[in-house]
Structures are given as structure tokens and as C-alpha cells.
Amino acid sequence: MVIECFQDYESVSSRAAELVCEAMSENPGGVFGFATGSTPERLYELLVTHYQRGEISFDRLTTVNLDEYIGLAINHEQSYATFMQHHLFGHVNVQPDSIHFPAAVPDPSVFEQLIQNKGGIDLQILGLGSNGHIGFNEPGSPFDSRTRVVSLAPSTIQDNARFFDSIEDVPHQAVTMGIQTIMEARKILLLACGPAKADAVARCLQGTQTEDMPGSCLQAHSDVTVLLDEAASSGLNK
């Protein structure tokens, strides 16, 4: 595991964009896993800029997203499909039939088969929840879990309420890649910023590997790069 610490969110995002661009240049026809939430927003903005400069192309890329809410229409303003379209996919030359999200219907396992048929995930981008979740794998998720329907933890619903008109509007279920699915990616890039992530960062990166802290599974992966700002790294033993 490589841990890189930066002064601020902008620096984290810039370094993340550099690493993703390198990976895309090395493997332009690869399978790349994308995350949603506020942390990767600037990364995606920078990737659009690199694309507009002609430095990268999404034309041959296959994309798979970590998760999607259940109960929101695909075109709902807070669906993750809409998020990705707004922040990245709608601004680059990714092929529409190369964009993939997990779905509860007809069966979440279809997503697993799709990933396998494409040869597996080459690079998976991750954020980290304040309770240590990756994707929507909440505390208690088995390390051998696969893509499935999950119920969101109250803390996650509270964290995500800022994106909705009220907390009552936040979906209580989602479909997510499993931890084992994530761990099978060849490379993982984890981003975490802000003081609210400091405890989870310390426990996931330097604590005991436990299903009560889902992100701690990453300690067992052979190729993980973690990018942190000063606030998120403040709890680490350096």
C-alpha cells in the first residue's frame, strides 16, 4: 500500500487525475471502476480537462460503477447514473454501451458476470465513508461479499442527506459491488479528504482488519494507492 499525503483537496484531486491518466494511457481499452460522492468530483472535472486537451480518450474504455440507489429513476437528479453523466460521462467520448452500473433487476449477479466477461477491473477508484464503508458495503459486510442489494446504515443516510431536499428523501437501499468484487481489481485508488474521514482513514489503514471497518480489507490488496489531504491523514501514525 502506498499512502501519499497532500496539503489540500485540490492537490489530492490533481494527483489522482495524474494517476488515472497514466493508467488510461497504459491501457486505453481497460475496465475502469468509478465512484460517486463529493470526493471524486474534482478528479472528474480534471479528467474532462485532460480529455479536452487531447491527452486521454475514453473511446475504448469500459466503465463500471460501484453502486446505485434503489428506488430512484435512472434520470433522477440524485441517481448515480445522473451524477456520472453530469460530472464525467456527458463531457467525454465514452461509448454509451460501455457504461455499466449494478442493478437489482433482474439479478445483481449479472453485474459480476459482466465484469468477469470483460476480463476484470483494471483500476477501481474508491472513496471512503465516515464509517469506513467502501461502495455501499456498510460495517458488518462480509469480506467475501459480491454485488448485492444492501440497506444503508443510518450514518450513511445522514451523510447523504445533504444531497437531497430532506433526509426523508434519501433512499434506504442500494445495489453495490461486494468487497470481494472490489478486492479483485488489479489496482485500487482510494481518495479521502476532510476531518470527518480522519478516524475511518486511521482505522482502515492502520487498524485491525475487520468487517466492522469495511475499508480495512484494503490492507490485504497488493496494489493500493491512497491519496489523503492533511485533515484526513491527521489520525495516522506517521
Positions marked catalytic: 67, 131, 133, 138
Which strands sit side by side in the sheet containing 224-229, from one edge to the other? Answer: 2-6, 224-229, 187-192, 123-126, 31-34, 62-65, 99-100
Supply 219's cell numbers. Answer: 490492507
Is the CB of residue 227 less than 8 Å from the CB of residue 35? no
Cβ distance 6 to 176 under 8 Å? no
User: Which grid cell sits at 193?
Assistant: 479528504
Whole-number Å distance between alpha carbons of 136 and 36: 11
Residue 168 CB partners (closer than 8 Å, separation 6+): none
- Are 20 and 125 contacting, i.e. CB atoms less than 8 angstroms apart? yes
